[in-house]
Amino acid sequence: MSSYDYWTGRCHLRAGSPAARRWQAATDEAMVTVVVRAESEDDMRTRLQQTLDGEGLTLERLDAVQTLLQRFRREGMSKTLIDLAEALSPRTPVAFGEMLPLLSIPTAPQEASRPPPPPVRYDEIAWADLFTPTSPPLWAVIDGVNCREAMQRLAAAEVQSACLYATTDAATRAIAPWLVRLEPDSEIRHWLAGLPQAQHWGLLLQSHATLKQLRSHLRKFTMLWTPANDQAPVYFRFYDPRVALDMAQALAPWKLAALMAPLDTLIVGLSPLMNVPDAANLSDPPHFAATPQEVQGRLLRLALNDPETERHGEATPITPGRSFAIDPTEFTRFGALQTTRAQRKLARELMEPYATTPLADLLAAVEAAGRLGQTYRLVSKQQIKTLAKCCLELGDDFLQHHPDAREILEHPHMAGWRKRDLLEAWLPRGRIRHALLAPYRDQESEMQNDNFRPIVSEERS
């Protein structure tokens, strides 16, 4: 018995004659999304070609071929595709969406080409500026993990609020994200404004949507499909301001626009460990060594520059389903931004024990430790921290001068945690040896310089 599946793809078509056009515009080319009932991808292409031949249409290109299940897992449910699939039958195995004509539009000559604006505009704003007569209503999404009293506070306040999780379990709801409407003089508004921004309690939204509409929309993004696991989604904490700022830089523009569809703006409280983009309109961007008091009250507002951003990369915008999905490129961007934040956090922790070390040197040591960790399979925070201490005290090239440390790291059968423990125990001896060898290293360096000078002189002569 044959086993059928539903396949989808994006077609670039050409009409063989004006009579074959299934679109209104007087152009021979069009784009269309197709759904085909077929046993395999090859069978799908065959059935599609047969249908197009009967319609007098030529298939110029077919891409984005996948099953509907694969499509939905990666990009969310689509009512249009579901309707096309339901229209199929053994006698009608091919269904086309709306055929969009490809028009050749002449462009007027320009005096000078301007680069397109970035997809996101970042501006600093104060709490008081969020409640002007023309401002959209203000909402907050409070992170129950970073703000454990959120549920209790909201239960005692007379405000519009809703949990973004559907669970009725009290323990889970206590750490869930909570959506709440903020009024200018409400107790909740003043409470949130007074919370330390370094606590990363959540973010603010400006939107004319209702509580029900916002909750329904934001719930679609609480879970995330990633290339790391195509079997199940993971929790996506977009309401953590650090993640929100990474998200604005990592997501494809059309996906960010899909998330912000009912939002006028998204607002985060600045903190020292955020990845603030270079394009942000800030007079004094916060440094990783800044104190919480230096950033308290400073807000960064994110708004889309291009209202059509969601159309980038797709002929038809895709509305995500309950589970959002990111591709390998976006996954890599998220990983790089997370690594940068982790490095700055570790450099900040090293500020106290190495108070006289310049901040740039602290960060450079952490980055060097990360590279060593990748080489010797020491990847945990504590393992990288130990390597960073070695780099700070003994130099980035300490393995060249300390064979006993190199022997620890190069041991082929030793676990990473054990290497770290042995390296921590060795470090005091390494300090002593490093100090004893310092005069000889200086003397060796001077000899190398003396040997080098005549060569340079001879070459110049």
Give CA separation, 176 vs 64, 127, 143, 188, 201, in Å.
36, 25, 6, 17, 12
Asked, for residue 411, whether it belongs to a domain, the answer is: yes
Q: What pLDDT digit, counting tens, does each position of 164-182 carry?
A: 999 889 999 999 999 999 9
Residue 194 tokens read as: 């007074």
Asked, for residue 107, whether it belongs to a domain, the answer is: no
Asked, for residue 342, whether it belongs to a domain, the answer is: no
Question: How confident is the model at residue 455, as a pLDDT?
Answer: 39
Q: Are residues 64 and 213 in the same domain?
A: no
Q: Are residues 148 and 205 in the same domain?
A: yes
Q: Are residues 372 and 296 in the same domain?
A: no
Q: Are residues 286 and 205 in the same domain?
A: yes
Question: How confident is the model at residue 119, as a pLDDT?
Answer: 86
Question: How confident is the model at residue 115, as a pLDDT?
Answer: 63
Asked, for residue 115, whether it belongs to a domain, the answer is: no
Asked, for residue 114, whether it belongs to a domain, the answer is: no
Question: How confident is the model at residue 104, as a pLDDT?
Answer: 64
Q: Are residues 411 and 310 in the same domain?
A: no
Q: State if pTM tops 0.75.
A: no
Q: Which of 47-56, 108-117, 231-240, 293-302 has the lowest mean pLDDT?
A: 108-117
Question: How confident is the model at residue 205, as a pLDDT?
Answer: 96
Q: Are residues 33 and 155 in the same domain?
A: no
Q: Are residues 161 and 307 in the same domain?
A: yes
Q: Are residues 374 and 326 in the same domain?
A: no
Q: How many separate domains does the chain show? A: 3
Q: Are residues 126 and 73 in the same domain?
A: no
pLDDT confidence tier of residue 381, bands split at 50, 70 and 90: very high
Q: Which of 115-129, 361-375, 393-407, 432-446 has the lowest mean pLDDT?
A: 432-446
pLDDT confidence tier of residue 110, bands split at 50, 70 and 90: low
Q: Are residues 85 and 155 in the same domain?
A: no
Q: What pLDDT digit, counting tens, does each position of 399-415 carry?
A: 988 999 999 999 988 99
Question: How confident is the model at residue 456, as a pLDDT?
Answer: 38
Question: Where in the sequence is the domain holding 205, given as residue range(s)?
Answer: 120-331
Supply φ then ψ for residue 95, to 5 degrees. Answer: -130, 135
Question: How confident is the model at residue 316, as a pLDDT?
Answer: 37
Question: How confident is the model at residue 112, as a pLDDT?
Answer: 58
pLDDT confidence tier of residue 383, bands split at 50, 70 and 90: very high
76 vs 443 pLDDT, higher one: 76
75 vs 338 pLDDT, higher one: 338
430 vs 374 pLDDT, higher one: 374
Supply φ then ψ for residue 77, to 5 degrees. Answer: -70, 150
Instruction: Work out the percent of the chain whose per-residue pLDDT is above 90.
Output: 56
Residue 310 pLDDT > 80, yes or no?
no
Question: How confident is the model at residue 4, as a pLDDT?
Answer: 85
Asked, for residue 383, whether it belongs to a domain, the answer is: yes
- Please classify residue 294 by burial: count the beta carbons closer than 10 Å to its beta carbon, then call 0-12 exposed, 13-18 middle and 19+ buried: middle
Residue 461 pLDDT > 50, yes or no?
no
Domain boundary pick from 274, 297, 331: 331
Domain boundary pick from 298, 331, 364: 331
Asked, for residue 225, whether it belongs to a domain, the answer is: yes
Question: How confident is the model at residue 345, as a pLDDT?
Answer: 93
Q: Are residues 210 and 267 in the same domain?
A: yes
Count of C-beta atoms within a 10 Å radius of residue 93 = 20
Q: What pLDDT digit, counting tens, does each position of 248-265 carry?
A: 999 999 899 989 989 999
Residue 76 pLDDT > 90, yes or no?
no
pLDDT confidence tier of residue 354, bands split at 50, 70 and 90: very high
Q: Are residues 420 and 294 in the same domain?
A: no
- Please classify residue 452 by burial: count the beta carbons closer than 10 Å to its beta carbon, then call 0-12 exposed, 13-18 middle and 19+ buried: exposed
Asked, for residue 345, whether it belongs to a domain, the answer is: no
Domain boundary pick from 72, 101, 130: 101
Question: How confident is the model at residue 333, as a pLDDT?
Answer: 94
